[in-house]
Structure 1
Amino acid sequence: MKYEVILFDVDDTLFDFGMTEREALQKTFQAYNLTHSLDEYLPTYKEISSVLWRELEQGHTTLAELGGERFKRLFAAIGLPIDASAFNQDYLVNLGKEVHLTNGAIELCSQLSDYRLVIITNGFDAVQKARIGGSPLCNAFECLVTSEAAGCQKPDKGIFDYVFKQLQITDKSKVLIVGDSLTSDIQGGINYGIDTCWFNPHRKENKLGIKPTYEIHELMELLTCL
C-alpha cells in the first residue's frame, strides 16, 4: 500500500456540517423561545462564524474565545439581549446530537479497513466525540484528535506532531490527509510534508495557489488515490 495512515477531517468531509449547524441552531433558538425565522439570522451567523474560524486558523483567537464571541456578535447584530456564553453551551450540546453524514462516508470507511484511520479536526472535543460516537462510523477510527485536545489547530504543525506522537508514526510518506479546506487541511498537510487530498464536492475554483496532491469530488473517489 502506498499509504498506511489516512487522516480525515470531519466537517464538510465525512459529516455534512451545513445540515448539522442548521438543525442545532434551530433547536437552540426554539429552546430560548425565540420566534425569529432561521433564515433571518443564519446568513449573519455564518458570516460571523466564518470570520472567527479563519482567525482561529491564523492563530488570532482561541477555540474557547470563538464559542461565545460568535453569538455575542450575532445577538448584537440582531438586537437580542441573550447571554451569549450560556447560549453557546446549549448550542454545543445540540450540535453534539446531530449526526448527518456526507454521501459515501459509510461506504468509504468500510472499504478502508486495511488502513489506520484517524480523525483530525479543528473543533470542540466533546462535540466531535459525541457526533462521531453517535454515528455509524463510531468504530471506524483508531484515534480522534481535536484541536481542543491538541492545544493547536490545523494548519499549525503542532496538531500533526500531536497525531504522529499519539500513533507513533515515523514515516510521513505513508500518511495522507483528506479534507475540504484548502487553508486548513491541505495547507496543514503541505506544511507538514505529507500528501493531501482535497475533497471538493461543489467543484470550487482553487484561487489560493495551494496545490493538493489529489482532488476528488465524491468520497468514494479516494479509493483511486490509494
Structure 2
Amino acid sequence: MKYDCILFDADDTLFDYGMAESHALNYAFVHFGLPTGARDYAASYQEINRALWKDYEEGRITSAALRVERFNRLFAAHDLALKPEAFSDAYLRFLGEGTFLIQGAAELCRELTGCRLAIITNGIKDVQHARIQGSPLSEVFEAVIVSEETGYQKPETGIFDYAFARLGLTDKSKVLMVGDSLTSDIRGGMNYGIDTCWFNPLGKPGSPEITPTYEIRSLDELLEIIR
C-alpha cells in the first residue's frame, strides 16, 4: 500500500452529519414541546452553526461556548422562550445517537485492512465518541482524536502533532489525510506536510490557495489511490 496510515475526518467524510443533525434537532424540539421546530428553524440554525464552527476553526470561540451560543442566537432571532443551555444538553444527547454513515464508508474501511486507520475530528468529545462507538465502524479505528481533547483543532498543526505522537508515526510520506473540508482537513494536512485527499461528492469549486494531493467524488475511489 502507498500509505501506512489513513487519518480520516469524521463528519461528512465517513459519517453523515446532516442526518445526525436533523435527528438531533427534531428530537430536541419535540422534547421541548415544539414538534415542528426542526422544520421551522433548521435553515436558520444551520447558518448560525456554520458561522460559529468557522469561528472555532479560526480560534475565535471555544467548543464549550459554541455549543450554547448557537442556540442562544437561534432563539433570540426567532423570539423562542427556550433556555439555550438546557436545549443544548438535549440536542447533544440526541446528536450522540446519530450513527448514520456516508454511502460506502463501511465497505471502504473493510477494504483497508492493510492500513492503520484513525479519526481526527473537530468536534465535541462526548458526541463524537458516542456516535463512533455506536456505529458499525466502532472497532475499525486505532485511535479517535477529537479536537476538544487535544486543545487544538484542524487546521492547527498541534492536532496533527498529537495524532502522530498518539499513533507513534514518524514518516509523514506514509500518512494520508482524508476529509471533506478544504479549510480544516486539507489546509491542516498541507500545513503539516502530509498528503491530502479531498472528498468532494458534490463537485464544489476548489480554492487556488488550498491544493489537495488528490480529489475524489466517491469513497471507493480512495482504494485506487492507496493501492
Into which bin does the TM-score normalised by the smaller protein fall? over 0.9
Output the amino acid matched with 1:62: T
In structure 2, stretches of 5+ residues that fail to align are none
| Alignment-derived partner of residue 115 in structure 1 | 115
| Alignment-derived partner of residue 14 in structure 1 | 14
Work out the CA distance in 2 between the residues paired with 1:195 and 1:89. 37
1:21-75 deviations in whole A, cap 9, x for unaligned?
0111000000001143423201110010000000000011111110000000000
| Alignment-derived partner of residue 2 in structure 2 | 2
Q: Please give the residue correspondences for 1:34-183 in structure 2 after superposition, counting only pairs within 5 Å.
A: 34-183=34-183
Asked if the contact 2:197/2:214 (under 8 Å) is kept, the reply is: yes
Q: TM-score, normalised by structure 2?
A: 0.97
Aligned residues: 226
RMSD of the alignment, in Å?
Answer: 0.9
Query: Post-superposition shift, 1:209?
Result: 2.8
Q: 1:208 to 1:23 in 2, by over 3 A?
A: farther
Work out the CA distance in 2 between the residues paired with 1:119 and 1:55. 22
Q: TM-score, normalised by structure 1?
A: 0.98
Query: Post-superposition shift, 1:208?
Result: 4.9
Query: Post-superposition shift, 1:82?
Result: 1.2
Output the amino acid matched with 2:44: T
| Alignment-derived partner of residue 188 in structure 1 | 188
Q: Secondary structure at the match of 2:118?
A: strand
Output the amino acid matched with 1:60: R
Query: Post-superposition shift, 1:112?
Result: 0.5
Query: Post-superposition shift, 1:89?
Result: 1.1
In structure 1, stretches of 5+ residues that fail to align are none
Percent identity over the alignment? Answer: 55
